[in-house]
């Protein structure tokens, strides 16, 4: 049996990910910028209740942990489409 799917995805594949957060004083955006780096931070899309950006799926638990360590409430995390190429 071949196991596939995102819990076992340790590839370099990139996905759109949406974090719905309780933002306060830009704390969540600061954490996300640190996670993706300055070059990719310009691609973080601010939506009404959170942020959407591109990242490897295996990084999602790490980002969630960092947000919670900074006392940022996470209301949902939504995996979006797999991205065929990295944004520049």
How far apart CA 12 and CA 66 sit, in angstroms, is 21
In the sheet that holds 45-47, the strands lie side by side as 45-47, 50-56, 14-22, 73-83
- From first to last of the 88 residues of the chain, give the pLDDT tens digit: 444 555 565 677 889 999 999 988 889 999 999 988 888 899 999 999 999 999 988 899 999 999 999 999 999 999 999 988 655 5
**Verdict on whether the full-model pTM lies above 0.75:** yes
| Residue in this structure with the two tokens 């990295």, named with its chain if needed | 86
């Amino acid at each position: 049996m071949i196991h596939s799917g995102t819990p076992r995805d340790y590839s370099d594949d990139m996905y759109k990910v949406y974090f719905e957060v309780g933002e306060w004083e830009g704390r969540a955006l600061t954490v996300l910028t640190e996670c993706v780096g300055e070059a990719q931070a310009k691609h973080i899309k601010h939506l009404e209740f959170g942020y959407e950006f591109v990242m490897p799926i295996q990084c999602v638990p790490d980002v969630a942990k960092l947000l919670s360590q900074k006392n940022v409430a996470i209301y949902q995390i939504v995996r979006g489409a797999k991205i065929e190429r990295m944004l520049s």
